[in-house]
Amino acid sequence: MKMKRFTGVLTAVLVSGAMLAGCSGANDANAPANEGASSGDEGKKQPTYTFRLAESHPADYPTTLADKKFAELVGEKSGGRIKIEVFPSAQLGEEKAVIEQVQLGAIEFTRVSTGPLAEFNKAFGVFSLPYIFENEEHEWKFLNGPEAQKMLEDLSSSKFMGLAYYDSGARSFYTREPVTSIEDLKGKKIRVIQNKVNIDLMDALGASATPMPYGDVFNALQTGVIDGAENNWPSYFTSKHYEQAKHIIVDGHQRVPEVLMASQVTWDKLSDEDKKIIKEAATESIAYQREQWKQFEKESEDKVRAAGVTVTEVSDLKPWQDAVKPMIEEYRADYKDVLAAIEGSK
């Protein structure tokens, strides 16, 4: 079973390599803007497109369902002229590699975590700062506010067009050996999403940060290359990390939202009308994603508990918050305005 998974990952890598090679140069976004069939509009030729959207999660994960909803809405609103094909399960590559491809315009759309995005646009590192949101309501009040929306707009300086935030719950630590307090984390090798804030966070907690792609974490847990990792309930469940790291300590250290975005290269080639269609579809897909998220977050927690995982709830977050205070203060200079806006969204 484990071997099967490993072979699956290898196949996916080979297939994605082949697909990328096969598609280079044949990318619709690079084709003349009005190539393709025409559609109504007083006989004026309207361009048709087929775009790819890269998603690292499996087909039934809440973000993937939302990607598909977005694609469906774009299809409807454009009368079938704009087709977006969703490629789940990291078929087009691991997150960081996908972001690079999107930056170049080789992949047109993606849904990614703001964790890896922080390496491409520093402003997004703020979401990796620990314990800055009290709960979902606090996070979404900020995400729907002007500062977070401006951050999406400012992604254009990194060659992305930010379209929407999606929910990703809260992340907690899970380990091979029991960890029931902050002290137990000391000296443990914990896999994190690669970005500077995460490395400083592990330092602050006395653990050792081991950045690696998401798709490598299962094997690294299995072979003991790492002692643990951290994620939300849905990822802990669907990645099967809970089979190898059977102890979770629910400290909810980060709320790292997801972002749906397009390549700026693709975006610049679209008409104002098509930009509007895509933006509207993205905005409309948010409510659906959040609904799917809520359901699946609960379902995955229930399934993981039923599988016999040891769950330690953290009743007093104070020692954790105290441990990271100096690091947050260090980052305050970089994230002054945005941290003030987050604090003001409580």
Interface residues with ligand GTR (CB under 6 A) are: 56, 95, 112-113, 115-116, 168, 193, 214, 231-232, 235, 258
* Least distance between ligand GTR and beta carbon 25 (Å): 28
Cα atoms in the Cβ-side hemisphere of radius 13 Å centred on 311: 14
Q: How many CB atoms lie within 10 A of CB 4?
A: 8
27 or 114: whose CB is closer to ligand GTR? 114
Distance CA 125, CA 256 (A): 9
64 or 263: whose CB is closer to ligand GTR? 64
Distance CA 42, CA 259 (A): 37
113 or 172: whose CB is closer to ligand GTR? 113
47 or 252: whose CB is closer to ligand GTR? 252
Q: Which helix (H) or strand (E) holds 311?
A: strand 310-313
CA nearest neighbour of 284 among 71, 35, 124, 135: 71
* Least distance between ligand GTR and beta carbon 95 (Å): 5
* Least distance between ligand GTR and beta carbon 333 (Å): 26
Take residue 68 and report the two structure tokens written for it: 């598909």
* Least distance between ligand GTR and beta carbon 253 (Å): 13
Identify any residues that bridge with 113 across adjacent strands, giving them in sequence order: 258
CA nearest neighbour of 175 among 312, 297, 299: 312
75 or 211: whose CB is closer to ligand GTR? 211
* Least distance between ligand GTR and beta carbon 168 (Å): 5
DSSP 8-state class, residue 193? -
CA nearest neighbour of 69 among 281, 305, 300, 310: 281
81 or 191: whose CB is closer to ligand GTR? 191
* Least distance between ligand GTR and beta carbon 63 (Å): 6
* Least distance between ligand GTR and beta carbon 275 (Å): 25
Helix (H, G, I), strand (E, B) or coil at 198: helix
Residues whose CB is less than 8 angstroms from the CB of residue 8 and which lie 6 or more positions away in sequence, other chains included = none
Q: How many CB atoms lie within 10 A of CB 159?
A: 17
Distance CA 57, CA 54 (A): 9
8 or 58: whose CB is closer to ligand GTR? 58
